[in-house]
Amino acid sequence: MALHPIHGTCPYCQHPFNETPSRSFLGFQKISCPACNENLTYPLSSGFRTTYRVLVIVMILILLVNLLQGRIGFPGIIGIAMCYALFHDWKLRKELNFD
């Protein structure tokens, strides 16, 4: 899926830009300001956010089933990374006044 250009203003140098972002490992949109070369991170797209939410809910249900069966479960590195991505996305969206 192609990313659409982001029209924005750099919070560091106030330079307006129109750049196509790249993706980070967890799916965040990354842009480098053309004027000051500062790296900017934008929130997850709705597809990544929805996928992570669904997978975290499934992970929690599996952990609860394990606890009910008397076993101790652990979410693993991928589960922890998804939880981190959702928390970081929430912070970015709050900081940038999205929604």
- Shared-domain flag, residues 95 and 49: yes
Q: Does one domain contain both 38 and 2?
A: yes
21-30 average pLDDT score: 92
Same domain, 29 and 76: no
- Candidates 35, 29, 28, 45; CA nearest to 10 is 35
Predicted TM-score (pTM) of this structure: 0.82
**pLDDT band, residue 11 (cuts 50/70/90):** confident
Q: Both tokens of residue 60?
A: 């929690």
Number of domains in the chain: 2
Q: Are residues 7 and 37 in the same domain?
A: yes
Q: How confident is the model at residue 1 (pLDDT cuts 50, 70, 90)?
A: low
Q: Residues 31, 65: one domain?
A: no
What pLDDT is attached to residue 99?
Answer: 61
Please tell me the distance from the alpha carbon of residue 89 to that of residue 50, in angstroms, as a whole number.
12
Question: What's the domain range around 80?
Answer: 45-99
**Do 65 and 26 share a structural domain?**
no
